[in-house]
Amino acid sequence: MKRLTIKDIAKEFNVSISTVSKALNNSYEISTSTKEKIQKFAKENNYKPNFNALSLKNRQTKTIGIIIPNMLNYFFAQVFKGIEKVANDRGYKIISCISNESYTKEVETIEMLSNGIIDGFILSLAEETILKNDFSHLQEMINNNTPIVMFDRVADGIDCDKVITDDFIGTVNTVNHLVKTGSKNIAFISTISKLKIGEKRKHGYLKGLEENNITVNRNLIIDILEDDYKEYENILTPIFDNNTIDAVIATDESSAIAAMKVAIKKGHKIPQNFSVISFSNGILARHSSPKMTTISQHGEIMGATAAEILINKLDKKITPDKPKTVVIKTNLVERNSTKKFAL
C-alpha cells in the first residue's frame, strides 16, 4: 500500500502542503478546527512522518538524485555524462532514475528518494508533468529545503536554479544560415510542439523568417508525434508532394533523417538544392548519409553546469542567493547536409 504523504493530505482537504505541515506540527497559525480535521485524518490513515529525512536534515549523504525523461535520447545521455563526471570529481554518488515521460513515475521517484537518501535533485521534467502543469511535488521538496536544479525542460513557476539552452536564438540563427546559403522555402518539423522548448524553437523559426522577409507558409510548420517515428516518412511524403521545400529544420534527428530520405526519393540533391539541419548533434546525425549538420545543445556542458550549481550549494561553497538561470549557447556543427558559405 502506498505510504500517505503530506501532499496526499493537502489534496484531500484542498489546502497547501505548508498548511498541512503546520497543522501536523500544531502551529498556532492554523485554526483549531482545521488542525483537528487534518490530524484526525492523518491518524486514521496511518500517516507517518519521515523521521529518516528529519534525522538526516543536518548531515549529508553525499548522494544526488537524477531524474531524466528518456535515457534513449542522445541529448539526455550526454547531460547524464556531464553530471556524472562532476559528481565523481567532487566526491558525490548519484542515483539515476528515468521517468519515461510519466508524471506518476516522476512523483513516485521523488517521494522514494526523499527519505533521507539524497541531498538534492537534478531533473528534467517529464512530458506528462508539463502537460498537467502540476509541480506541487517539486514545491514540496523546496519547502523542505531540498535543493533542486532543473535542466532543459523547466517549470517557470518553481523557484529553483535552472540550466537551459538558447533554443529561440539558436533557431533564429539556423534560419539565417539557411537563407544565406540560398534556401527560401524552409520547413520546420517538430516532435515536441506541446513542450515549451518546442514552442521556443518554433518562435525562433518564425522570427528568422520575419528577419529575412520570408512569408510564413503554415503548411511548412509540421507537428508530428515522437511515438509515430515508424511513420515519419509516410507522414512527410504528401507534405513534400504538395509544397515547395528546399530546406528543413527538425527538432530531432529521427524526423530530420526521415525528411532527408523523402527529399532524396523526390530527386533532390543534398546539399546542392536541399538542406537539412537537426537539433541534438547525436550519433544518428554523424552516421547518416550524407552526414547531417546539427544544432549542438552541448548536453555534457549542461549536465556539468547543473551538477556544479547543486554541489556548490550542498558544499556551501557559494553564498545562498536567489535562484539563477544559466543559458547554454547553441552552435551549428556543419557537416554535409548543408551548403557552405560562398567565399
Average pLDDT, integer, range 177-202: 97
Rounded to a whole number of angstroms, the CA Rg of the chain reads 24
Tell me the H-state helices in 90-166.
103-113, 127-132, 136-143
Pairing of strands 186-190, 221-223: parallel
pTM for the complete prediction? 0.82
The cell numbers describing 168, all together, are 529561440
User: What distance in Å separates the CA atoms of residue 118 and residue 124, rounded to the nearest whole number?
Assistant: 17
CATH code, residues 1-49: 1.10.260.40
**Average pLDDT, integer, range 137-142:** 92
For residue 50, pLDDT over 80 is answered with no
Distance, in Å, from the CA atom of 137 to the CA atom of 105, rounded to the nearest integer, reads 12
Average pLDDT over residues 173-194: 97
With bands split at pLDDT 50, 70 and 90, how would you rate the model's confidence at 26? confident
Residue 135 pLDDT exceeds 80: yes
Q: Check pLDDT > 70 for residue 237.
A: yes
CA distance 224 to 276: 17
Strand ranges of the sheet holding 186-190, from the earlier edge strand across to the other edge: 221-223, 186-190, 247-250, 275-279, 293-296, 331-333
Provide the pLDDT confidence category of residue 1 given band limits of 50, 70 and 90. Answer: low
Residue 302 confidence class, pLDDT cut points 50, 70, 90 = very high
Under CATH, what is the fold of the domain 167-297? Rossmann fold (3.40.50)
DSSP run (H or E) holding 234: helix 232-242
Q: Name residues whose C-beta falls within 8 Å of residue 136's C-beta, 6 or more positions apart in sequence.
A: 7, 10, 17
Tell me which of 172 and 341 has the higher pLDDT: 172
Please state, in angstroms and rounded to a whole number, the distance separating the CA atoms of residues 65 and 49: 21
d(CA 138, CA 107): 8
| β-sheet bridge partners, residue 293 | 277
Q: Residue 116 above 80 pLDDT?
A: no
In the predicted structure, residue 267 carries a pLDDT above the cut 80: yes
Asked if pLDDT for residue 53 goes beyond 70, the answer is no
pLDDT beyond 70 at 158: yes
State the average pLDDT over residues 295-302.
97
Taking the C-alpha atoms of residue 265 and residue 326, their distance in angstroms, rounded to an integer, is: 42
Share the mean pLDDT of the chain: 92
Q: What is the pLDDT of residue 45?
A: 87
At 320 the pLDDT is 66
Structure-model confidence comparison of residues 328 and 116, the more confident one: 328
Return the domain boundaries, the chain: 1-49, 167-297
Assess whether pLDDT exceeds 50 at residue 343: no
Q: Which pLDDT score, from 0 to 100, does residue 319 have? A: 64
Whole-angstrom distance, CA of residue 78 vs CA of residue 306: 13
Angle between helices 232-242 and 253-265 (to 10 degrees): 50
Per-residue pLDDT band at 60 (split at 50, 70, 90): confident
Question: What residues have CB less than 8 Å from 251, skipping those under 6 apart?
Answer: 189, 190, 191, 192, 198, 201, 278, 279
pLDDT at residue 257 in the model: 97
